[in-house]
Each structure stands twice: as structure tokens, then as C-alpha cells.
């Protein structure tokens, strides 16, 4: 086997082939760093509204909050009599401001560990189109009995606190209560903030471009909740305090028409707000995917070189395996260095330019870097095996480009309809690139969950299995073809 590896290395180390693999790594690094170097903060000072939860994840945490102090035992009960909203300049004509609520507009009651963004919470709310919900810890969402229906009549809401346990109840008459859910919010201080809130995420629509691809367009919205029969137990005496969590009242709509805030009129409280409370708040953050702008070009150079190498006739199956092993090891090493360099340097440059970077842990970065190096090595071995099967360089190059580089390239940009792009990343070897995904899709968050913005249809492990299956079939076919040729 040592002799086979030595012979494989001798066959591999042609200057053109070494230069091609090095060029692929340099393209990946240079294009990524040039792109991030041109990204700079557009804010005067640190950009506002970048919330991070206690576990370090990026979240959305922006709403208007009318609040009081609440001790370790207590409750808040309210009747929500009306929920209205405003959507600015929706399609098709974008020429008017309309009354309406986006599906995940929210208004209700909340217990929160202070007024800082990212602090833990539990909330009970009415939504624009998903009925009563209890949400907590940014990721957890529990449907109430009125799920999936808009508000048509007053709704009573209640939250109780007993230490770290927050329980939500709803009622249609204020007399008979049903439990919506219970949350364990660990680490709450003795005194928390309790009160009324309103928030509303942007109105998201998709505009068709290119060959059916879509890019998102988001417009400002606002939600308004009207509350009465407000009752507090275990809360400190005194006036309500009214504060925004996150930035607010900067838009023309809020300045000239209806400012976000809380207005108290007797026993009626009206709260207006915009934003969202929930997981995955990556809007405004630079994601790790941004540093891989040059991946399509690097992949093209890589698979062309590997396919041409595979088209060279191997004298035996052992020689074929040795060549595939040498190629895979070389590509893995180059890919590891290139992806590690572009990720480490790229994220450092973005931070140095004042651009908020998606908060991800060191283990996630290692997973992305090592995973991509493995994927690039498998893609190279797959292209090599196609060359060994087809024997004609031009045919092997075209097949490798069509099965690997083309699907990845056309799905990395908003060129194809989302459904077509998703199927390409399920059914082709390009599925393996799901290992670089760091974004998570949540049903309670309205977003454009498409490959062109970093959402793969398969989890990383599943995408890697698809690529491994294609590579295994191609290698087996190459071995069979080599054995038949040797036998002849």
C-alpha cells in the first residue's frame, strides 16, 4: 500500500494540478476577505438593537413596555379589549398606509428580568393571526385555546409568578380560566418587571427576480393594544413606568403620526409598539456565510482539476484507491487552511469595521470549518470518480460541474424559485454544503427561509450523508470500471 500511495503521489503532483488546488484555496480566501473588507458599520457608534440572550444566541427583543416592580410571588391580570395595527406601504402599489396586523404582531402581558435587551422573560399575548400564545425564553411557544384565529372579542389574560415559575392563563369572561402553559425561567431575581407590552415585526413580502428567485422586502408596522381591568398582586405601589426595550420612535410614522409608547387614561392603558420578541434575530447581523462568497468559483476550479485527474487511467483498483486517498487528503488540508483563514480573518475584519457579527460559539466555528473541509474533499473524490468512470476529461468535467458546482452556485443566489433551489440541495451532492448552516428556522418567526439567504432544506448531517452516498456510488462504479479494464 505504501508503494501505491507513493505512485499515486507521483501521479498527482503535477505542477498544473498543485497550482489549481492552491488557486482554489486562494480564491476562497481572497474573495471572502475582499468582500468583508468592504463592509462597514453604517451606525454612528455601535449599531442599536443587537440583542443577545443569556446563552449567547442572537435574539429579537424590541417592544414598548409599561411596567412595575413585581416580587417573588404575584400576578398580573388584564382584559385586552382591542388590538389594532398599521402596515406602511404594502404591495402591490406601495402607495398608502393601511390598517392591519401582520401575523405575529403581539400585545399582552409579560414578566421580564429587567428592561435590558436579551434578558429572560415569559409573556402571554394575543397575536395578529395566531390567537393567544404563551412564549418564553425566546425559543418556546405554546398555543392557547384560541390558536389560529384573530381577535374578535375581548380576551382576559393572566400571568402568575411563584419564584422562577411563570404560569399563563386565559379567559373569555374573567371568571373561568384555562391554563395556557407554564414556564421555568431560571435565575429570575427577587424583583422583576411586570406589565403590558406591544410589538410588531416587519411586513415581509417577496419580490420575484431572475429566473423565479425571490428577494425579501420588509416594511414598518406597529401594533396597538388597549387594556382595562388591570389588576396586580405582589407588585410595588406607585405609577407605571413606560420605556422602550430597544430603539423606537425613529421612523417618520412614529414621529409624525403615532408614536410608540403607553398612554394611561383612567383605568384604560393603550400601548403601541414595534419590533419583535423571539428567537433568531439575525437581521442586522453579519452571518458566517458572508465570508464564503468565493466558494462557487473555488468549487469550480476544484472539481475540474479532480475530474481531469480521475480521467487518467489507473493500472489497478489499488492504484485508483490510492489516488482518491491522496486527492482527498490534499483537498481536505487545503480546505481546512482556506476555510479556517477566511472565517477567522473575515469575522475579525467585520468586527474591526464595526459590523455586528452573528454570535456563534467556538465549537460552531470549528464545526463549520472542519465540515466544509470534509465536504470539499468529498466533492473532489466524487469528481475524481466520475473521471475514472467516464474516462473522457470533457465528459467528466461537465458531469462534475453539473452535479456539484452548478447546484451550489445557482442556489447561493436568488436565481431560482425557492422550492426548486431546495430540491436541488436535497437531491444533488451540493446538499453537503448544509454543514455550513448556522441559522435556525422557527415557526413563530416570519422570515424568508430560503437557500439564497443561508437556510438549507436539510440539516448538516443529512446533507453530508447525501454527499457521502453520491461519492460512495461514484467510487464503487469507478472501481468496477477499473477492474473490467484491467481484466481485459
First to last CA, the chain: 24
Helix (H, G, I), strand (E, B) or coil at 128: coil
Identify the bridge partners of residue 136 per DSSP, sorted by sequence position: 122, 140
Cell numbers 404560569 correspond to what residue?
A: 167
Residue 163 has which C-alpha cell? Answer: 419564584
Q: Which residues of the chain have pLDDT under 50?
A: none
Identify the bridge partners of residue 250 per DSSP, sorted by sequence position: none
The domain limits of the chain are 2-39+284-487, 51-279
Q: SS3 sequence, 74-123?
A: EEEEEEEEEEEEEEECCCCCCCCEEECCCCCCEEEEEEECCCCCCCCEEE
Identify the bridge partners of residue 193 per DSSP, sorted by sequence position: 69, 112
d(CA 432, CA 15): 29
- Give the model's pLDDT for residue 348: 94
d(CA 390, CA 378): 18
Identify the bridge partners of residue 206 per DSSP, sorted by sequence position: 216
Architecture per CATH, domain 51-279, reads as Sandwich (2.60)
pTM above 0.75, yes or no: yes
Write out the DSSP string of 369-417: HHHHHHHHHHHHHHHHHHHHHH--HHHHHHHHIIIIIHHHHHHHTTTS-
pLDDT in tens, 7-23: 888 889 899 999 999 99
Residue 372 has which C-alpha cell? Answer: 466544509
- Give the model's pLDDT for residue 284: 73
Nearest CA among 448, 445, 422 for reference residue 216: 448
Nearest CA among 359, 339, 353 for reference residue 287: 359
Peptide bond into 92 cis (omega under 30): yes
CA angle 81, 86, 91 (to 5 degrees): 140
Q: What is the dihedral of CA 309, 313, 318, 324, to 10 degrees?
A: 10
- Give the model's pLDDT for residue 47: 58
- Give the model's pLDDT for residue 44: 61
Identify the bridge partners of residue 269 per DSSP, sorted by sequence position: 227, 264
Amino acid at each position: 500500500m505504501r508503494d501505491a500511495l507513493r505512485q499515486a503521489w507521483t501521479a498527482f503532483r503535477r505542477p498544473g494540478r498543485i497550482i489549481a488546488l492552491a488557486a482554489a484555496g486562494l480564491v476562497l480566501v481572497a474573495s471572502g476577505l475582499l468582500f468583508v473588507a468592504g463592509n462597514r458599520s453604517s451606525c454612528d457608534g455601535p449599531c442599536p438593537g443587537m440583542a443577545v440572550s443569556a446563552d449567547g444566541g442572537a435574539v429579537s427583543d424590541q417592544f414598548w413596555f409599561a411596567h412595575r416592580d413585581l416580587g417573588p410571588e404575584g400576578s398580573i391580570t388584564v382584559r385586552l379589549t382591542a388590538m389594532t395595527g398599521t402596515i406602511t406601504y404594502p404591495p402591490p402599489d406601495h402607495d398608502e398606509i393601511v390598517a392591519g396586523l401582520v401575523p405575529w404582531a403581539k400585545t399582552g402581558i409579560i414578566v421580564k428580568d429587567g428592561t435590558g435587551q436579551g434578558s429572560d422573560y415569559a409573556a402571554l399575548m394575543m397575536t395578529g393571526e395566531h390567537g393567544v400564545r404563551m412564549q418564553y425564553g425566546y425559543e418556546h411557544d405554546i398555543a392557547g385555546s384560541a390558536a389560529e384565529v384573530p381577535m374578535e372579542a375581548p380576551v382576559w389574560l393572566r400571568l402568575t409568578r411563584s419564584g422562577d415559575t411563570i404560569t399563563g392563563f386565559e379567559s373569555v369572561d374573567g371568571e373561568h380560566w384555562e391554563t395556557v402553559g407554564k414556564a421555568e425561567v431560571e435565575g429570575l431575581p427577587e424583583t422583576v418587571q411586570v406589565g403590558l407590552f406591544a410589538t410588531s415585526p416587519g411586513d415581509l413580502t417577496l419580490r420575484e427576480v431572475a429566473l423565479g428567485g425571490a428577494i425579501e422586502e420588509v416594511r414598518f408596522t406597529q401594533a396597538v393594544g388597549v387594556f382595562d381591568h388591570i389588576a396586580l398582586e405582589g407588585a410595588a405601589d406607585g405609577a407605571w413606568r413606560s420605556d422602550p426595550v430597544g430603539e423606537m420612535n425613529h421612523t417618520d410614522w412614529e414621529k409624525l403620526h403615532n408614536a410608540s409608547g403607553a398612554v394611561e387614561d383612567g383605568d384604560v392603558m393603550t400601548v403601541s409598539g414595534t419590533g419583535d420578541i423571539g428567537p433568531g434575530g439575525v437581521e442586522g447581523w453579519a452571518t458566517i456565510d458572508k465570508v464564503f462568497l468565493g466558494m462557487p468559483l473555488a468549487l469550480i476550479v476544484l472539481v475540474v482539476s479532480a475530474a481531469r485527474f480521475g480521467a487518467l487511467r489507473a493500472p489497478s483498483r489499488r492504484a485508483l484507491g490510492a489516488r482518491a486517498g491522496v486527492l482527498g487528503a490534499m483537498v481536505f488540508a487545503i480546505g481546512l487552511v482556506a476555510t479556517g483563514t477566511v472565517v477567522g480573518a473575515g469575522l475579525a475584519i467585520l468586527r474591526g469595521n464595526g459590523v455586528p457579527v452573528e454570535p456563534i460559539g467556538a465549537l460552531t466555528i470549528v464545526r463549520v470549518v472542519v465540515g466544509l473541509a470534509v465536504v470539499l474533499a468529498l466533492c473532489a473524490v466524487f469528481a475524481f470518480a466520475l473521471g475514472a468512470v467516464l474516462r473522457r476529461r470533457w465528459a467528466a468535467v461537465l458531469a462534475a460541474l453539473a452535479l456539484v458546482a452548478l447546484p451550489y452556485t445557482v442556489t447561493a443566489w436568488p436565481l431560482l424559485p425557492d422550492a426548486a433551489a431546495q430540491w436541488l440541495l436535497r437531491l444533488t451532492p451540493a446538499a453537503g454544503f448544509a454543514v455550513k448552516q448556522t441559522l435556525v428556522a422557527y415557526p413563530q418567526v416570519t422570515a424568508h427561509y430560503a437557500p439564497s439567504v443561508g437556510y438549507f432544506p436539510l440539516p448538516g448531517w443529512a446533507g453530508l450523508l447525501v454527499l457521502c452516498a453520491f461519492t460512495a456510488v461514484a467510487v464503487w462504479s469507478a472501481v468496477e470500471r477499473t477492474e473490467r479494464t484491467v481484466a481485459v
